[in-house]
Structure 1
Amino acid sequence: MNPASWLDRAARRWPEAPALFWGEKQIATYRDFDRAAGAIGKALADKGVKAGDRVGVFMSNRPDYLIALYGIWYLGAVAVPINGKLHVKEAGWILKNAEASCAFVSDDISDGLEALTSSSGCSLISVDQDEFAAMKQGVSLPAPAIVEQDDMVWLFYTSGTTGTPKGVMMSAGNIAAMASAYFFEVDEVEQGDAILYAAPMSHGAGIYNFMFVMKGARHVVPPSGGFDAREILELSPKIDNVVMFAAPTMVRRLVDVAKHSGQTGEGIKTIIYAGGPMYLADILDAVDVMGPRFVQIYGQGECPMAITALSRADVSDRDHPRAMERLASVGLAQCFVEVRIVDEDGQELPAGQIGEIVVKGSPVMLGYWRNEKATRETIKDGWLWTGDMGRADEDGYITMQDRSKDMIISGGSNIYPREVEEVLLTHPSVREAAVVGQKDEEWGEVVVAFASVFEGKKVNAAELDKLCLDAIARFKRPKCYLFLEDLPKNNYGKILKTELRERLETMDKEGSER
């Protein structure tokens, strides 16, 4: 069940098949990929890393990302992929909490990290330096380590409403179930296909690598290392049979550039979208411009990519009597899970009624790392309570209505208000702070901060912006700061975020009433 066994199998079956690419340039065959991963595993063992140890990966997108991941698994260790957009302080906290033995990093994002990890005994290995190159060229382990179905292989950190990230423990069995469901519910994979990593490889884009390794398909990192709509549209016809994961905001930008340039997505086989609300008008426009290339999935870190799926046929269907309703949904339960809509007592609700979405099945996480309380609160009687609100129709299509938590999704990235609020409250002049999401055509949502100050004190937006930039990732910082004498509260003293969102509708960006 070791993921590295899938790579080893592919290398034995298709040794000369092209595997890793940087743009159009081939970096490695499957034989090369497998040998380098095995050598990384051996080098980690020589450093004292053992099976079950946690090894961080804090890197920007690049082919070596996959070599590092599979090297970790070759040894039977646990990969801890960390969002490359995080602040080094946040990455350092994750590595410490995971009790990581070491971490693979890239020089472009890791400046200052070593000072934060040295005290915890976590050594850093730069993939941009000679040490990593030498590791790849060393002696390879003879075979991947034995990993059991319930052994943890992936520790993914997702922020919580407390502002403290939680480590989601994913087992080999969880990953295998997610990958198997992909073939049934999302898309077929052929050896001639190419997965394009334009979104962060620490998240949905990267976790989709497994199916393409299993099939001996290609793995392509665009030259920019990230999402550039024009680059993708120009690269895809040259690569051909491109499959990519994209947030709705990425889809919208891709479609806008395609329309402007007269392109239709030539060379793109499938775009799987998720990670935020996809407005009905946007997906209608996407299909009109680029054709039936789209599939939607719904998942979360605790059940990655594997809760529901809206098929290519459903996304493209315009003839069914309820086609528009289905297109606005997140689809049907995937094959290895049960999905229900329940009330606060866990009782299943009839079709049409809104409740919390709960899911049960083999892709659901083992639990939260070193956090039994959060695990008990989230998994009840085997059911994962997602915190997302929705309703199901008579045919089982689930439409999300809202989130029971206050999470903001901006550009496909999850942002938890409490985390930002806690940073704002460290300013000596700030008395209260509340962070909410505001709808935005480009990003889906943007972060807006409301604050009140102590009597006789002063603070401006620039000061708060600098405070956030020094403490949290840039993408989490508010795009707008609004100052009120007092924040609205209920009788229990709780800040009324609903009222703040309503206020946003009647305020301009400078905070003045219209």
Structure 2
Amino acid sequence: MNIANWLTRTAVRSPDRPALFDGMQQVACYGEVEARSLQIAGWMRAQGVAPGDRVAVFMQNAPDYLIALFAVWAAGAIVVPINAKLHAKEVAWILENSEARLCLTHGALKASLEEIEGPWRLVDIEQDGFGAKALCHVTHRAGEDTAWLFYTSGTTGRPKGVEITHRNLLSMSLCYQSDVAAVRSDHATIYAAPMSHGAGLYSMMHVLQGARHVFPPSRGFDPTEVLSLARAHGRAHMFAAPTMVKRLTDYAEMSDECGEGLETVVYAGGPMYEADILKAVNRFGPVFAQIYGQGESPMGITALTKEEVADRHSRDWRLRLNSVGRAQSAVEVRICGADGQLLGPGEVGEIEVRGDTVMAGYWNAPEATASTLVDGWLRTGDMGRLDAQGYMTLMDRSKDVIISGGSNIYPREVENVLLQHAAVSEVSVIGDPHPEWGEQVVAFVVLRDGAICDSDALDRHCLNQIARFKRPKVYQFLDALPKNNYGKVLKTELRTLARSDVADPETALKSVP
């Protein structure tokens, strides 16, 4: 079933129900959202977009974002959501790799792409009239058809397109209802995190239930704004990275706010420190739920309910609070050893998951798909353990992905950019714990003989190639990288060096604001 049918059902059932809000102001009801989506879908079909074609959405959070998603699906096409923080060159690579026919965008983001040539067509969703005849109904798609092509990265540093099907989205949405928090028609959802990621995925169950969709005027995350919108709209849900929860709590404590109007805050995307979630619950009450997922099984592996996060009376409440919960309804999870054997309670191994939220595969990457999906099980690359009650605790990431502020940053990608600088001979990038962002990017750099370069020059170089949030925040210049007998860089030694209080003045860590 095409997930776009959920919008039609709600529009037929309650056409006048308030749907889209720009801050406090209503901009569309459900009948209008459906009509606009079908109009754009009809225009896309008139431009030659066929079922299964890719249409990118490169936009900041705004009411038109939700319309764009459902328009692409109504046309039978595959949406390719692209993080609005990415550099234009990174966006162009995704457009080229996905073979996108169109890129729905707006304003300055559209302008940033106009100088890059490609076979895709840029469409300003705010300015173009979309005068073609609207579709009469949603295009049929089967459950196994791809709906959402999510670009993530692996150890190669190049993004891979994760094929998320209509069935994946349906299962993920229903699991939210059963395992995370039930959504009702009198609820609202606030989009303070990027809709190209978890916040956008969590739009669907709110559409199905006819809830309100609230877009902060800042188009981003501001604690003052979020708390004000929650208080005004009431019964508010939102998705937040742990760093957002921490900032929200710190602001609320400073301003003596209690989070009036917050119904559910789902946190995921990085490590949540125990002290931070304890403070958050003490300030806002039992509104926090945790989920664990990956791009390859979006938002859909485990969940820790609001009641479990807030529990302080059960014997093992602290252990559970530091877990990521239990398997969601649509999946099975297990822990396997290095040779594939099934491990028992308490044993640490690789987390594997099987079920209806697991991706169909990687876009045009059969070898990567075959090595990740084995006998129906997704090998997550994450290390963890299950206890006897089925609670999962994450131990480490076997991949070297850095999670800063809820965003994934892949060391190899940053290393490749730094190695393009003429003065750089070798480089290794790691994540170092940071009290606000979870982790920060640290680059260890070896310069070429006789070369002169500083952190400011490398920072300017990175800003010309990759998104600002991916660039290193700290540089350390070394005479040589520590390596083993096989020539592999010893990142464990680099992590120790990054955290050392003793540093040679000539090689000391240099921070970039």
Instruction: Tell me if both proteins adopt one fold, taking TM over 0.5 as the criterion.
Output: yes
Which of 302, 306, 315 aligns to 1:321? It is 315
Q: Which runs of 4+ in 1 moved over 4 A?
A: 507-511
Which of 441, 447, 451 aligns to 2:441? It is 447
**Does 2:230 match 1:232?**
no
**Aligned residue for 2:410?**
416
**Aligned residue for 2:458?**
464
Secondary structure of the residue aligned to 2:463 is helix
| CA 1:466–1:11: 2 relative to 1, 3 Å | same
**Aligned residue for 1:128?**
126
Secondary structure of the residue aligned to 2:107 is coil
**Aligned residue for 2:25?**
25
Asked whether the 8 Å contact 2:195–2:201 carries over to 1, the reply is yes
Q: 1:65 & 1:324 partners in 2: Cα distance?
A: 39
Q: What are the superposed Cα offsets for residues 370-392 of structure 1, whole Å, 9 maximum, x if unpaired? A: 00111111111111111111111
Q: 2:466 & 2:213 partners in 1: Cα distance?
A: 31
Q: 1:433 & 1:312 partners in 2: Cα distance?
A: 43
Secondary structure of the residue aligned to 1:145 is coil
Structure 1 residues 24-33 or 231-240, which shifts more? 231-240
Instruction: Quote the offset at 1:318 in angstroms.
Output: 0.5
Which of 383, 392, 397 aligns to 2:386? It is 392
**Aligned residue for 1:427?**
421
Q: 1:298-313, aligned counterparts within 5 Å? A: 298-313=292-307
Asked whether the 8 Å contact 2:22–2:215 carries over to 1, the reply is yes
Query: Please, what is the CA RMSD of the aligned residues?
Result: 1.2
Asked whether the 8 Å contact 1:60–1:108 carries over to 2, the reply is no
Q: 1:354 & 1:110 partners in 2: Cα distance?
A: 47
Asked whether the 8 Å contact 2:351–2:383 carries over to 1, the reply is yes
Instruction: Quote the offset at 1:139 in angstroms.
Output: 3.2
Identical-residue share of aligned pairs (%)? 52
One-letter amino acid matched to 1:348: L
Q: What are the superposed Cα offsets for residues 425-466 of structure 1, whole Å, 9 maximum, x if unpaired? A: 111221110000110111000000001112222221111111
**Aligned residue for 2:288?**
294
Tell me the TM-score normalised to structure 2 length: 0.97
**Aligned residue for 2:137?**
143
**Does 2:150 match 1:156?**
yes
Asked whether the 8 Å contact 1:3–1:73 carries over to 2, the reply is yes
One-letter amino acid matched to 1:151: D
Asked whether the 8 Å contact 2:90–2:466 carries over to 1, the reply is yes
One-letter amino acid matched to 1:128: E
**Does 2:508 match 1:512?**
yes
Which of 222, 243, 246 aligns to 1:249? It is 243
**Aligned residue for 1:82?**
82
Q: 1:486 & 1:21 partners in 2: Cα distance?
A: 55
Instruction: Quote the offset at 1:508 in angstroms.
Output: 7.1
Secondary structure of the residue aligned to 1:465 is helix
Q: 2:316 & 2:112 partners in 1: Cα distance?
A: 54
One-letter amino acid matched to 2:72: I
Q: 1:187-266, aligned counterparts within 5 Å? A: 187-266=181-260
**Aligned residue for 1:112?**
112
The alignment of Structure 1 onto Structure 2 pairs a total of residues equal to: 507
Instruction: Quote the offset at 1:161 in angstroms.
Output: 1.2
Asked whether the 8 Å contact 1:56–1:103 carries over to 2, the reply is yes
One-letter amino acid matched to 1:512: A
**Aligned residue for 1:64?**
64
Unaligned runs of 5+ in 2: none
**Does 2:478 match 1:480?**
no
Q: 1:332-347, aligned counterparts within 5 Å? A: 332-347=326-341
Asked whether the 8 Å contact 2:110–2:122 carries over to 1, the reply is no
Instruction: Quote the offset at 1:109 in angstroms.
Output: 2.5
Q: 1:108 & 1:443 partners in 2: Cα distance?
A: 27
Which of 265, 268, 288 aligns to 1:271? It is 265
**Does 2:384 match 1:358?**
no
Q: 2:211 & 2:199 partners in 1: Cα distance?
A: 15
Instruction: Quote the offset at 1:112 in angstroms.
Output: 3.2
Instruction: Quote the offset at 1:111 in angstroms.
Output: 2.8
Instruction: Quote the offset at 1:506 in angstroms.
Output: 1.1
Q: 1:482 & 1:111 partners in 2: Cα distance?
A: 35
Q: 1:44-63, aligned counterparts within 5 Å? A: 44-63=44-63
Asked whether the 8 Å contact 2:382–2:397 carries over to 1, the reply is yes
Instruction: Quote the offset at 1:233 in angstroms.
Output: 1.0
Q: 2:490 & 2:501 partners in 1: Cα distance?
A: 17
Secondary structure of the residue aligned to 1:266 is coil
Q: 1:110 & 1:202 partners in 2: Cα distance?
A: 16
One-letter amino acid matched to 1:496: L
Instruction: Quote the offset at 1:58 in angstroms.
Output: 0.3
Secondary structure of the residue aligned to 2:163 is strand
**Aligned residue for 1:41?**
41
Q: 2:494 & 2:347 partners in 1: Cα distance?
A: 27
Q: What are the superposed Cα offsets for residues 201-237 of structure 1, whole Å, 9 maximum, x if unpaired? A: 0000000011011011111101111100011111211
Instruction: Quote the offset at 1:507 in angstroms.
Output: 4.6
Asked whether the 8 Å contact 1:22–1:62 carries over to 2, the reply is yes
Asked whether the 8 Å contact 1:88–1:111 carries over to 2, the reply is no
Instruction: Quote the offset at 1:481 in angstroms.
Output: 0.8
Q: What are the superposed Cα offsets for residues 80-136 of structure 1, whole Å, 9 maximum, x if unpaired? A: 0001111111011001000000110122323331332x43x200001232x1xx22x
Secondary structure of the residue aligned to 1:271 is strand
Q: 1:398 & 1:339 partners in 2: Cα distance?
A: 9
Secondary structure of the residue aligned to 2:111 is coil
Asked whether the 8 Å contact 2:58–2:104 carries over to 1, the reply is yes
